Structure 1
């Protein structure tokens, strides 16, 4: 079941009509509301008080209100962004470069994660598995320890990587629905290992679920330029509206230039 939180990938604030958070503005309610913006409601009704007093039989009321006068509060709360890096560690070209760049970006983001209320995690996928090598954390020390040695090589289990990332976020959102989930997927998007049979169909089936959950997805495609394009990164992005970046020479700064605008304000 969907929650009532409106998540925005461009910042760490959400707008909510719950009774938590700072009252920043008002709006016309859509349906019933219990969080009435009395100041705005009174200002709207003030325009019609003379007319209503003449119309109503009871002339002694202090204020004449109608349903159309009602305004509800829009509140703003600071919440954390949870960034999950999903990195292709398979033996495809540039695996080592991808891993080093991703590790550098993760550690850089962890440097100010505590102050900005963010958490960062990482999944590495290769051979026939996708492993959560860094659970969500704001600790630089833990990041350095767990990401010290990450092996590369083997086939590319793309569908397993998307599935693992989906499961990690589902579990995290179940514990804390008030997060902004951001998945940063770094790969050349050339699957060659299936969970069961059809590895292309499996990728799209899992992305259906990811999109349905409202998880923000950034695809960073590292497939080398060639006359024949094999990777499916752009096809995934177009189908689901995921953010897509093609980077031939992956680097820490290149990743941070993409990610930082989404978590800073």
Structure 2
């Protein structure tokens, strides 16, 4: 991509330019270089990624919209990420306990089959869902330490499961402390006059960022993930 100090190999043009900016002189046909002139190459990474979605599937229409957006984003990402061998996983947060509805996979066929016709409604065991994601990320890290992980949470930050709000806070703190994944929270608190700001608080606890989307869609979600 460009020349940097300490990069890969030798970036010849960048090294010569650095020497010229320093005021190096040409002696005969030789350019006198110093160690500080050396530049290497910054390369665009082709590392594989693990993207874990934790989706609030409680409620009705809003939850259905979130699941449809995640399904579309998962398919789009897998289509674009063949060469990087990316994996995507989805955890649905609803009812008494969260559920891994899509284990880590790079298969579009598997993703479409597993994400079809998911149920919505019930309580929101958010803390339990975050712990499930944490365990998955740790397990995948042990198998493939070089794979980068990103946790994407679609939620308004409410936690009405058995662990409550304290459970989600403790799980988020553990994820941040372990440091195996970057985090982004997509704020699902839409259309309310009084906003509690729990999604922003959750992002802070995870050590990640909070994003508010005017319209949630597969394309918008894919763009957020690609930009992180």
TM (normalized to structure 1)?
Answer: 0.67
Deviations 1:12-45 (A, max 9, x none): xxxxx9xxxx9447xxxxxxxxxxxxxxxxxxxx
Partner of 1:154: 122
Alpha-carbon distance in 2 for matches of 1:238, 1:217: 10
- 92 and 158 in structure 1: CA distance in 2 versus 1, 3 angstrom threshold: farther
For structure 1, the residue ranges without an aligned partner over 5 or more in a row are 1-16, 26-68
Is residue 2:175 matched to residue 1:207? no
Partner of 2:207: 241
Equivalent position SS for 1:129? coil
Q: Which residue of 83, 90, 97 maps to 1:122?
A: 90
Q: Which residue of 210, 229, 232 maps to 2:195?
A: 229
Q: Which of these two proteins has the greater Rg computed from alpha carbons?
A: 1
Alpha-carbon distance in 2 for matches of 1:189, 1:139: 30
Higher helix share: 2
TM-align CA RMSD: 2.6
Q: How many residues align?
A: 196
Equivalent position SS for 1:224? coil
Alpha-carbon distance in 1 for matches of 2:203, 2:138: 21
- Is 2:157–2:202's contact at 8 Å kept on the other side of the alignment? no
Is residue 2:217 matched to residue 1:251? yes
Q: Which residue of 76, 81, 85 maps to 1:113?
A: 81
For structure 2, the residue ranges without an aligned partner over 5 or more in a row are 1-5, 11-35
TM (normalized to structure 2)?
Answer: 0.77
Equivalent position SS for 2:98? strand
Q: Which residue of 42, 46, 50 maps to 1:82?
A: 50
